[in-house]
Amino acid sequence: MSDFLALTVTAMVPFLLVAQGTMLSGRSGIFNVSQEGLMLLGASVGYLVSLQLGSNVVGLLAAAVAGAVFGAALAWATTYLRLDQFVVGLALFFLAGGAASLLYRIVVGDSDVKRIHPLPKVLFDQDLLVFLAIAFSLVLWWWLYRTDAGMRLRSVGENPKAADSLGINVMRTRMLAGTVGAALMAVGGAYLPMAFAGTYADGVVAGRGWLAIALAFFGGWRPQFILLGSFFFAAMDVLAQRAQVSGIGLPHQFVSMLPYVATLVVMVFAFRWARVPQFLGRNYDRESRIVG
Amino acid sequence: MTQTLVAARPTAQDRVRTLLGAAIPYVLAVIGAFLVVAVIVLALGHNPLEAFRAVLTNSFRNETGMVQTLKKWVPLTLLALAFAIPLGAGRFNIGGEGQLILGAVGSVAVGITFSELPQVVLLPLVLISGVLAGVVWAGIAAWLMAQFKINEILSTVLLNFVSFEVLDYLASVVWPDAGAGGAVTLPIGAGAELPTIGRPPMHVGVLLVLLVSVVAAVLARRSVGGFELRAVGLNERAARVHGVRTGRVAVVSMVVGGALGGLAGAIEVAGVHHRMLEGIQSNFLLLGIIIGLIARGSLTAVPFVAFGIAVLEVGAGSMQRVSGTPVETVLILEGLILLFLLMSDYVTARLRVRAARTSAKAALA
């Protein structure tokens, strides 16, 4: 059982970081859909830098910077140029995914696969990022709901016109939230080679980025519920792997389906819970006379 | 006597001018994307001209290249339409992959169970059951959207993941092919296979898709449904005020998208693989989305853009062989074309504002 818990907690980290990044960005109104590509980029950059410099921490930081660049590009294109968020996000998803494989191809090429060291274990046989990710989720909850700055961020996502009229800089808030959110997504991706395979492959993300979007909706765009939701997703993931290996009397495919079907069912029964930021995915035009 | 005002029919010259005006951003975006990629290829130490020649000519050098390109063009066009039609109503169908897989499931189910039937009966049945399965799969998302206001991006993405498991279950438990490695179903009956034409053989699904894309383009431009679709996409509130049942238009657009995704799956089964296997969906969903977005929702443009992307995809491998440039550069190229096309929207809007300003100043002076 404790074994199951340990595996689940490790599997939870990428979901958690990426979904919180999605949430942070979305709470300011920027709906990022390039998670899958940003995670791949983070995994590639994180792996390559760790391999070259021999330090996982530097690798994670480099991944964060790479993600931040893409996040800033998305935020800039959707605030100052007011381009369609979804379309720009998908274009960046393709670019990030292509850049990730290209970087790996250039640096490693067809030479032998080298593995990087896993992150060192600090407590309960878990690495530091596990605790950081959980602590960060709690801090994020406190920051969003108990500080002025957090409330300003939320107000930009709910009603930017009202926020603007009260002197909140909508553009700057969105730029910051979009950049930091994307950096988190890349870090979530960089965790994959460090925690599991020890190396990079093009299929390393395997749809986790899209699931993180689902998770943000599942958690009602609130950090505390996203924390619970990512634990649930990770537990199902581990359970399905276990069912595949040892069998639990049910075809493992049905266990693997469970988190997706459960998410849909929860969404059906949770109207009030499943609310989204009012201005999610919509650009703010200061000069527009149409409100909302 | 009352004078009725009728909009003048645009002259041929006007038409050519608007067409050219619409083509300029495309040309600029493609040139810009190729230039940036040329810099990347140079930085990698390869010859960009050689790389581009390999990418662009591979499809046209011989019949094999052409058939390969057309075989890619078929699912790409269908999935791009499956994305672009709901996009017309402002809905995002990210479930083309799942709809394709379910279409494949529907057609192998019929193709294996009734494998004895003659072709006249079996082939239409296989195609129809594929389409219906796609309709059901997209219908779930559409129903959740209409009834419970569940975001369609969320539901279609989740249904994609469910469909992978359905495929895996059917291919490794229900109809597994013991001889094949991995998750592969038994082959469908001979009567379920699409006939082929030419040499090297090309399945006739390509003609079917040509027909479908022409019908879709005509309906989008000339039918009431197509008009309502555009009205909802452009301004949902205004459309509702004028009596369009916006909810129903959105649901129907999703279901039509699902039908096309299902057809893509059925054609992949009946024309290409003659069975269902893991990974049958390839990367068609992503490329379909790219095509739909590059075509900017114009169903007329979709088949042409799809052909261009199919050429790039088929050429990517030969580019790597000939010039050593990694295949990933093609993905970057496609992303850049899309991004530059978006940027050109912004630039043309700014230029229009500036032109209006100077003409206003001239009028005042």
Q: Is A217 on the interface with B (CB under 8 A)?
A: yes
| Contact state of A217 with B151 under an 8 Å Cβ cutoff | yes
Sequence-ordered strand ranges (E) for B136-193: none
Q: Is B60 on the interface with A (CB under 8 A)?
A: no
Q: Is B283 on the interface with A (CB under 8 A)?
A: no
Alpha helices in chain A (DSSP H): 2-27, 35-53, 56-79, 85-107, 128-146, 148-158, 160-165, 170-192, 208-218, 223-246, 252-269
Contact B141, B159 (CB under 8 A): yes
- The rounded distance, in Å, linking the Cα atoms of B285 and B93 is 10
Query: Can you count the helices (H) and strands (E) in chain A?
Result: 11, 2
Q: Which of B40, B148, B157 is opposite residue A213, by nearest beta carbon?
A: B157
> What contacts B30, CB < 8 A, 6 or more positions away?
B337
Cβ neighbours of B174 in A, within 8 Å: none
Interface test with A, best of B158, B286, B319, B336 (most A CBs within 10 A): B158
- The rounded distance, in Å, linking the Cα atoms of A122 and A119 is 9
- The rounded distance, in Å, linking the Cα atoms of A43 and A171 is 29
3-state secondary structure at position B47: coil
* Signed CA dihedral, B156, B328, B71, B166: sign only: negative
Q: What is the DSSP letter of B191?
A: G
Tell me the CA distances in angstroms from B118 to B165, B190, B192, B207, one per residue in order.
Answer: 31, 8, 8, 22
- The rounded distance, in Å, linking the Cα atoms of B299 and B223 is 13
Q: Where are the domains of chain B?
A: 64-305
Could you tell me which of B117, B231, B105 has the C-alpha nearest to residue B162?
B105
| Contact state of B168 with A97 under an 8 Å Cβ cutoff | no
Q: Which of B160, B289, B331 is opposite residue A90, by nearest beta carbon?
A: B289
Please count the residue pairs, one from chain A and one from chain B, whose beta carbons lie less than 8 angstroms apart.
115
Interface test with A, best of B154, B160, B344 (most A CBs within 10 A): B154
Q: Is B143 on the interface with A (CB under 8 A)?
A: no
**Average pLDDT across chain A, whole number:** 84
From the number of C-beta atoms within 10 Å of its C-beta (0-12, 13-18, 19+), residue B9 rates as exposed
The residue of chain B with its CA nearest to that of A267 is B150
The average pLDDT across A6-16 equals 88
Measure CA B244 to chain center: 27
Relative to beta strand B196-197, strand B202-203 is: antiparallel
3-state secondary structure at position A122: strand
Summarised one tens digit per residue, pLDDT across range A58-103 is: 889 999 999 999 999 999 988 888 888 888 888 888 889 888 888 8
Q: Which pLDDT value is given to residue A65?
A: 94
Interface test with B, best of A253, A278, A283 (most B CBs within 10 A): A253
The amino acid at A6: A
The residue of chain B with its CA nearest to that of A94 is B335
| Contact state of A90 with B293 under an 8 Å Cβ cutoff | yes
Cβ neighbours of A263 in B, within 8 Å: 154, 158
Place of tokens 């550069």: B329
Q: Please say if the pLDDT value at position A248 is more than 70.
A: no
Sequence-ordered strand ranges (E) for chain A: 121-123, 126-127
Q: Which pLDDT value is given to residue A194?
A: 84
- Terminal-to-terminal C-alpha distance of chain A: 50
| Contact state of B328 with A87 under an 8 Å Cβ cutoff | no
The average pLDDT across A230-248 equals 78
3-state secondary structure at position A163: helix
Q: Which pLDDT value is given to residue B286?
A: 86
Q: What is the CB neighbour count within 10 angstroms for residue B337?
A: 28
The residue of chain B with its CA nearest to that of A209 is B157
Q: Which pLDDT value is given to residue B8?
A: 66
3-state secondary structure at position A170: helix
The average pLDDT across A116-135 equals 78
Phi, psi of B245 (to 5 degrees): -80, 90
**Residue ranges of A 25-64 with Cβ closer than 8 A to chain B:** 33
The residue of chain B with its CA nearest to that of A91 is B335
Could you tell me which of B301, B331, B325 has the C-alpha nearest to residue B313?
B331
Blockwise average pLDDT, block size 10, chain B, 365 residues: 61 77 80 89 83 82 84 92 90 90 92 83 89 94 87 87 89 81 81 79 86 90 86 84 86 93 92 86 86 86 91 84 80 87 81 84 81
Widest CA span in chain B: 84
- The rounded distance, in Å, linking the Cα atoms of B140 and B148 is 11
Could you tell me which of A95, A117, A113 has the C-alpha nearest to residue A104?
A113
| Contact state of B326 with A251 under an 8 Å Cβ cutoff | no
Q: Which pLDDT value is given to residue A290?
A: 64
Summarised one tens digit per residue, pLDDT across range A158-213 is: 888 888 888 888 889 999 999 999 999 999 999 988 887 778 877 788 788 888 88
Sequence-ordered strand ranges (E) for A30-129: 121-123, 126-127
Q: Which pLDDT value is given to residue B261?
A: 94
Q: Is A285 on the interface with B (CB under 8 A)?
A: no
**Residue ranges of A 151-170 with Cβ closer than 8 A to chain B:** none
| Contact state of A95 with B339 under an 8 Å Cβ cutoff | yes
The number of CA neighbours under 13 Å toward the Cβ of A233 is 32
Q: Which two tokens stand for residue A67?
A: 């993600």
Q: Which pLDDT value is given to residue A1?
A: 54
Q: Is A258 on the interface with B (CB under 8 A)?
A: no
Contact B184, B168 (CB under 8 A): no
Q: Is B169 on the interface with A (CB under 8 A)?
A: yes
Element (H, E) at B8: none
- Name the pTM for this structure: 0.86
